[in-house]
């Protein structure tokens, strides 16, 4: 198995999906051991570091990659199995960026009101207890919260010659900010360009569903991935498979459209796996769907449609790709 280790220098960061030359050419079946910087490029280190001063907009959310996957062609399906996500710093940061976030007016939902104040929170990582610590600034409250590492941003180059900011989620993946993108999961992405040109970034040590204020517990991350390729079968929207769940992530505005996209693609997936027609799929999904939000703060909102495998007949999505990668991961880590 090819194993590629890569820690990008700041000048190697990618800021878009599409429009960037690959840093590596890799074979399906490769393992990647990557380092990803946090969305703030490590610049928020103290509660006195304010985004308006410390950040160099729009240079946030740097990506590691893109990677050119040999043999990947438009219409194929890229499989990325997340073997491991380990925090690469001893602290994470979160902040309120003026006119960004879910509970404020923004550059997309413009009002005449003043922005909310800037405030930065630093979360110390307790590696042993696998936790991070929330420290309130208006009271003495401190809370130990379980660590739950995930990748906010996973995507391929978009179709139609587009290059999209790493802050945007869409059909190509990107900044979906879903907690479902955790170790043990396999993400399926439709390939739009030769080589797929995928990249990853935006590690979160923990994030609630919706990413309300726009920034999770952001932290640099060591990322281990297995990469594989399925000829054909490109899904309309990013799909995720874990041992326990099937998930589809839709991204759009308004939020119901993100949800609708994820729902309809799940119904298509039911059709592929079980031969259900769309009406039976619609009915079944109505009774078993979990619908946790991913982000309600980005340029597109993202919603997950998630179904527990235990409620469904055994199936073999993508010819058992997830199980195979899971076993492979177990054998190498």
Segment 240-299, which members bind a second copy (CB under 8 A)? 250, 252-257, 259-261, 263-264, 267, 274-280, 282-293, 296
**Nearest Cα residue to 318 out of 233, 243, 237:** 233
Dmax over Cα atoms in the chain, in whole Å?
Answer: 57
Least Cβ distance, residue 327 to a second copy (angstroms): 27
The reply to whether 73 sits near a second copy by the rule CB under 8 A is: no
DSSP conformation class of 244: S
Q: Give the number of residues written for the chain.
A: 333
Distance of alpha carbon 43 from the chain centroid = 21
For a second copy, give the closer residue by CB, 182 or 253.
253
Tokens of 111: 């009002």
For a second copy, give the closer residue by CB, 54 or 178.
178
For a second copy, give the closer residue by CB, 28 or 102.
102
Helix (H) or strand (E) holding 286: helix 278-288
For a second copy, give the closer residue by CB, 53 or 141.
141
Stretch 166-205 residues interacting with a second copy (CB under 8 A): none
Tokens of 233: 């079968």
Cα angle for residues 284, 287, 292 (degrees, 5° grid): 110
Least Cβ distance, residue 259 to a second copy (angstroms): 6
Stretch 83-102 residues interacting with a second copy (CB under 8 A): 94, 96, 101-102
Tokens 């490590």 locate to 42
DSSP conformation class of 116: P
Stretch 104-123 residues interacting with a second copy (CB under 8 A): 104-105, 107-117, 119, 121
Tokens 């160099």 locate to 56
For a second copy, give the closer residue by CB, 145 or 328.
145
For a second copy, give the closer residue by CB, 53 or 330.
53
Least Cβ distance, residue 81 to a second copy (angstroms): 26
Contact in structure between 202 and 177 (CB atoms under 8 Å): yes
For a second copy, give the closer residue by CB, 26 or 122.
122
214: left (phi over 0), alpha (psi -120 to 50) or beta: left
Stretch 25-54 residues interacting with a second copy (CB under 8 A): none
Radius of gyration of the chain (CA): 19
* Residue from 77, 215, 242, 302 binding a second copy (CB under 8 A): 215
Task: Give the binding range for a second copy (CB under 8 A) out of 24-32, 38-46, 143-151, 221-229.
Answer: 143-151
Least Cβ distance, residue 35 to a second copy (angstroms): 22
Distance of alpha carbon 151 from the chain centroid = 5
């Amino acid at each position: 198995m090819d194993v590629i280790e890569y820690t990008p220098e700041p000048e190697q960061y990618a800021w878009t999906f599409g429009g960037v030359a690959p840093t590596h050419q890799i074979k399906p079946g490769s393992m990647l051991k990557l380092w990803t910087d946090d969305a703030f490029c490590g610049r928020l280190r103290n509660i006195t570091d304010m985004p308006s001063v410390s950040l160099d907009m729009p240079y946030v959310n740097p990506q590691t990659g893109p990677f050119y996957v040999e043999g990947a062609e438009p219409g194929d399906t890229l499989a990325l199995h997340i073997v491991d996500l380990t925090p690469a710093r001893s602290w994470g940061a979160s902040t309120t960026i003026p006119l960004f976030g879910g509970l404020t007016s923004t550059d997309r939902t413009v009002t005449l009101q003043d922005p909310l104040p800037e405030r930065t929170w630093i979360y110390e990582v307790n590696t042993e207890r696998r936790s991070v610590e929330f420290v309130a600034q208006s009271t003495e409250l401190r809370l130990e919260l379980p660590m739950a590492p995930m990748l906010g941003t996973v995507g391929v180059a978009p179709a139609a010659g587009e290059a999209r900011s790493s802050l945007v989620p869409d059909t190509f993946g990107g900044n979906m900010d879903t907690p479902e993108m955790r170790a043990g999961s396999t993400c399926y992405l439709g390939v739009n360009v030769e080589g797929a040109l995928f990249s990853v970034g935006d590690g979160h040590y923990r994030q609630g569903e919706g990413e309300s204020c726009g920034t999770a517990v952001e932290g640099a991350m060591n990322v281990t991935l297995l990469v594989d390729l399925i000829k054909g079968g490109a899904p309309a929207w990013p799909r995720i498979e874990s041992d326990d769940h099937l998930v589809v992530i839709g991204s759009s505005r308004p939020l119901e459209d993100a949800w609708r996209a994820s729902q309809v693609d799940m119904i298509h997936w039911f059709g592929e796996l079980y031969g259900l027609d769309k009406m039976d799929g619609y009915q079944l999904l109505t009774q078993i769907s979990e619908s946790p939000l991913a982000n309600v703060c980005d340029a597109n909102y993202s919603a997950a449609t998630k179904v527990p495998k235990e409620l469904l007949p055994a199936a073999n999505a993508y010819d058992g790709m997830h199980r195979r990668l899971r076993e492979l991961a177990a054998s190498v880590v």
